[in-house]
Amino acid sequence: MFRNISGSTLAIGLLATITAGCEDNPATDICGLQCPEQGLAEGNASITGFASVDSFFAAVVGFDKAALEVKAGVDAELRALAVSLELDAGASAADIRAALSAKFSGAIEGGLKVKYAPPRCTVDAKVAIDASAKCDAEIDPGMASVECKGTCTVDASASASCDVSAKVMCKGTAPNLQCSGSCTGTCELTNDLKCNGTCNGECSTGCSVTGPDGQCAGECTGECMGTCELKAGATCDGNCQGSCEYEAPSGQCEAGAEVRCQAAADASAECNGSCDGEVVPPKAKAECEASVEAEAKMQAQCTPPSLEILWQWHEDFEDDVERAKFKAWVEGFRLRYAGLLAASARAKLVLEAGTGLGDAAVGLVTSVQADFASDTSLRAKVGILCAVAELESVGTLIQSGSGALSGSVSAVGEISAALAGG
C-alpha cells in the first residue's frame, strides 16, 4: 500500500525535476510520486530505501516506543505504591506524596533516610556496533570496536582483560574477606567499629531502631558490635561477607570475580562488554551519529539500586504490632522505590536520545540532499520527497515521547520529596 505525497515547499520544488524524468518512461511506479502508505506514525521506518536516512527514522520510532515503555514501568510502580497506602490504584503522584507524608508523620521523626548508589545504566557494546553497521554499510561489525567513557564490565566469554589505559576493578568475594573498596551485604564486625549501614547487635549510642530482643536493628551513630548490613555499599572495617568492589592490586581479579574496566576521567577506553557511562560508537558517516547515539541510550538497561533505609521512631509510636507493620511496609516500599529510581534513570537517558534526534531533525533536509547529491536516479529523488513528507511526524513523535518521559521523571521526584518528610 502506498500514499501520495502531499506538499512541503521542498517537495514541490523537486516535483518538476522528477516529473521531467518520467517523460521517457511514464509507466514507472516512481512517476506516481508514491511513498509507503504507512509512515512513522504507524511505526514504519522504511521510508526512503536508503540506510542512513531510514536508520534515523527507525531511531525516532524506537524513541517513541522506549518512552511508552518507561512510562508504563513508572506507572506500574506508582500503582503498587498507591495500593500499599490504601489509595486508588490510579492516584496521582501528588496524592501518593501526601499519603506518604501522612504515614510518616505519626510513626517516625524526620522522614526516611534513604542511602543508595545511583542506578547503574549499561549499554552493550554490540548495540552500538550493530546500529552503526545498519546505518553505514562500510562498517564491518566483526572488526568494529566501541569505547566507553566510564566503566566497562567485561564480557565473561571474552578474555576478561582491560585496555591498558583503564583501571582494573573487581567485584566479587574480597580476598580473605578484607574489602579495600566498597562492601555490599553483611559486614561482620569483630570489634566495636563504626557501621555505615544497619547495625544488628550492640550499639554504644544513638540506635534509631531497637529490635524485639533489645538489640539495635537500625542506624547506630556510635560504635556497633555485631553485624553491619550495607545494602547501599560502604566501607567495611571487619569481614566483608557480601560482595566487594575493589581495585585489582596487580591488575588481575580473583577467579570468578566480575571484571570492570574504569576509564580515566574525561577519557575513554575500548570496551567489548557493557558500558556504564557514555558510549563512543565506531566512526561512521556523520549522518549516522544521531541515530547510533540514540539507539545506544534507548537500549540502556538500568539496574535498581540496593537501598539502605533508616529512620528514627516517633517517641509516641510505641506499639510493637504497629512498628512491625511499618517495617513490613518499608520492605515493600524499598522494592518499589528502587524500581522507580531505575526507571527515572532510564527516562533521563531516553530523553537525551530524544533531544539528540530533535536536533538532528533540524538538519535532516540538508543532510538528505547531500546524501543523494551523487545519485541522480528518480528513486533517489522520490526518496527525498518521502523523507521530507515525514518531518512533521518526526516532531510529533519526539514531542509526545518527551512529554511522557518528563511526566515520569516528575512523578518520581514527587515521591523522593516525601521521603524527607516534605
Q: List the chain pLDDT tens, one digit each, 422 residues.
A: 334 333 344 443 444 444 455 555 544 455 555 788 898 999 999 988 888 889 999 999 999 999 999 999 999 999 999 999 999 999 999 999 999 999 998 899 888 999 888 899 999 888 999 999 998 888 888 888 888 998 999 865 555 678 888 889 999 998 889 999 999 999 998 788 888 889 999 999 889 888 878 899 888 989 999 999 988 888 898 899 999 999 988 778 888 888 999 988 778 888 888 999 889 888 888 778 889 999 999 999 999 998 989 899 998 998 989 999 999 999 999 999 999 999 999 999 999 999 999 988 887 766 666 666 666 666 777 777 888 888 888 989 999 999 999 999 999 999 999 987 65
Which amino acid is residue 37, in one-letter code?
A: E
Helix (H, G, I), strand (E, B), or coil: what is residue 3? Answer: strand
Cell numbers for 288: 549516522
Answer for the pair 43, 61: CB distance below 8 angstroms, yes or no: yes
Cell numbers for 81: 505504591
Residue 276 exposure: Cα atoms within 13 Å on the Cβ side: 15
C-alpha separations of 229 from 209, 267, 369 in Å: 14, 35, 61
Which amino acid is residue 329, in one-letter code?
A: W
- Could you tell me the residue ranges of all domains in the chain? 2-118+320-419, 120-313
Q: Distance (Å, rounded) from C-alpha 309 to C-alpha 85?
A: 18
| Element containing residue 410 per DSSP (H, E) | helix 391-419
Q: Distance (Å, rounded) from C-alpha 32 to C-alpha 26?
A: 9
| CA angle, 395 then 93 then 99, to 5° | 180
| CA angle, 207 then 208 then 210, to 5° | 75
Query: Dihedrals φ, ψ of 65, to 5°?
Result: -65, -40
pLDDT given at position 61? 95
Q: Distance (Å, rounded) from C-alpha 341 to C-alpha 74?
A: 9
